[in-house]
Structure 1
Amino acid sequence: MLIDFAQAQLHRFDELACRIQAEPEKYINFDSVSDFYKAAWLQDFPQGTIWTATGLDDGAEQFDAVIEYRGHFLRISCGEKTVIHSGIYAE
């Protein structure tokens, strides 16, 4: 049986993105952008995943993060309400 490594890694990314969407309270609990970058669950994404975050510093009440891997993304926006989107970028 042959396993497509790239496809397996995309599946791994998508599974974690779904878990975060289903239970954000288990994953999204930050007081600063630095806390986001230290989150242990970021290491569960496939190697090569890129993440960026803004907000939370200097008294900001809004937090935004984008996590990307090979065209797949997870976008997290926290403010009065937490909104999480995942998907695939259109080409």
Structure 2
Amino acid sequence: MQRFSPAKQKRFALLMDKNNEGELSRAEKVEIKKLGAEADELMLANSRALALALRPELFDRLGRPIQARFRRAIAANASSKNRSKAKK
């Protein structure tokens, strides 16, 4: 799993705190936007890696997701949840 370095995480937390107080400078607004985009990319990469590790049958041999298999898995999961709710 990928994550921010401790220094980058600390900086991001500081900027988020300042943002909550409405105290960001223009440069800090640009910086927090960039860090937020980086955090989103890390989260997406980590989610993809986890999905590949837990459900390899949903990916082709090159590690690309097979959309039809994902759709079927999502539909099956939703159907299973609906059946378990009906039993309660």
User: How high is the TM-score relative to the length of structure 1?
Assistant: 0.29
Q: Which has the higher strand share?
A: 1
Q: Which has the higher helix share?
A: 2
User: How high is the TM-score relative to the length of structure 2?
Assistant: 0.30
User: Which one has the largest radius of gyration?
Assistant: 2
